[in-house]
Amino acid sequence: MQRSMKDEILHRFLNAQGEPISGQQLADDFQVSRTAIWKHLQSLQQEGYTFETIKKRGYKLLAVPDRVDFGQLKQLLTTKRYGQQVHYFERVESTQLVAHDLVRQGVPDGTLVIAEHQTAGRGRMQREWESSEGKGIWMTLIIRPEIAPHQAPQFTLVTAVAVVNAMKASFQNFTPQIKWPNDILVNGKKTTGILTEMIAEENRIQALLIGIGINVNQEQTDFPDALQTIATSVAIEEGQQVDRVQLVAKVLDFLEHYGDHYVKHGFPLIKKLWEEYSCTIGSQVRATTLREVVEGEAIAITDSGVLEIRQANGEIKGVYSADIEIL
Ligand code: BT5
């Protein structure tokens, strides 16, 4: 993807590892005046980057803004499609709602909607998703995979595998685990929820909206009372504040990788990884569906993403959509 000159300049500073870069050097490299370079730096300052002028040596990047920055994200991504188009917002009701509008406008595969704050973040079945300002990753990825509508739920499992991989690659102090179908837990508490919505016409998927909410830099007191015993953040578990942009980039890298693998080669690898990372398989669980409550040992997920539970009488039941309690 073509970067703007401002993005290119930022790229140079981010790669300079705190070393100053001379204004003249940049002017020569980009074949513009020093004033033009200075204007780009001013514009970056307005976005929250801090530069120090060092006499005779140039400019040094001192600090990057503590927000999910589009410019910086593009520098970090290794993807071809996912996150290459970003719609960034300070505040929205829900990134899912914005994504629905964008799908109608025909945005390309891999378009990302990301917000600092959601005023009406959504979980499954109209539940609320607490999305405090500037502390988490609240994003929806719009993808247009060549799969049949009935395969859409498997993308929730693909996404969970990708997020776990991104966390494993980024953090050393904790082990994320997947709780079927869409939660990522650390030490039994939820760090991440995934909400997959589908827009389909007849037998064709027009778009999947993959909503990912990750608690990143919250302290325990940032969560409302109702979430105190069930929610945690990456920072709490890792023991330090972490860079949200880097985590977004890692999640998108792994998601494109595993998403493409899934579309090309099917479910077996995803299933294997999912079961490996799962805290559900092998546990005694209570699954509450819209119609019934099923209790027993969770033994596997099937190729269509159904959770199989062996009940006390030996009968195996498949659960398509449910809330799971691990007993
Ligand atoms: C989910 O639903 O876990 C899916 C959450 C998806 C959120 C993302 S953020 C970006 C995108 N835009 C949106 O509007 N949504 C998506 P579910 O399995 O139904 O879990 C919801 C339940 O999790 C709630 O009823 C609470 O009990 C709990 N919960 C709410 N906010 C939480 C948080 N920040 N951390 C942990 N648990 C939370």
CA 65, chain centre distance (Å): 19
- Give 243 Cα–ligand 1 centroid separation in angstroms: 21
How far apart are alpha carbons 180 and 72 in whole angstroms? 33
Greater pLDDT, 207 or 47:
207
Q: Assess whether the C-beta atom of 215 lies below 6 angstroms from ligand 1.
A: yes
Mean pLDDT calculated for residue range 305-309: 91
Which residue carries 């991989």 as its tokens? 165
Give the pLDDT band (50/70/90) at residue 1.
very low
How much of the chain, in percent, has pLDDT values that exceed 90? 74
Q: Assess whether the C-beta atom of 156 lies below 6 angstroms from ligand 1.
A: no
- Give 129 Cα–ligand 1 centroid separation in angstroms: 4
Do the Cβ atoms of 217 and 235 come closer than 8 Å? yes
Which residue carries 């188009």 as its tokens? 85
How much of the chain, in percent, has pLDDT values that exceed 70? 97
Nearest one of 161, 149, 132 to 261, comparing CA atoms: 161
Question: Out of 213-217, 258-262, 318-322, which region has the weakest mean confidence (pLDDT)?
Answer: 318-322
Mean pLDDT calculated for residue range 92-121: 95
Mean pLDDT calculated for residue range 124-130: 92
How far apart are alpha carbons 111 and 103 in whole angstroms? 9
- Give 214 Cα–ligand 1 centroid separation in angstroms: 9
Mean pLDDT calculated for residue range 227-241: 95
CA 46, chain centre distance (Å): 26
**What sign does the CA torsion over 234, 240, 243, 244 have?**
positive
| pLDDT at 281 exceeding the cut of 50 | yes
Q: Nearest 5°: phi and psi at 293? A: -115, 125
Greater pLDDT, 67 or 289:
289
Closest CA to ligand 1's atom 3: 193
How far apart are alpha carbons 312 and 295 in whole angstroms? 8
Predicted local distance difference test score (pLDDT) of residue 179: 94
Predicted local distance difference test score (pLDDT) of residue 181: 85
136-143 and 111-118 as β-strands: parallel, antiparallel, unpaired?
Answer: antiparallel
Give the pLDDT band (50/70/90) at residue 67.
low
Give the pLDDT band (50/70/90) at residue 190.
very high
Mean pLDDT calculated for residue range 133-152: 93
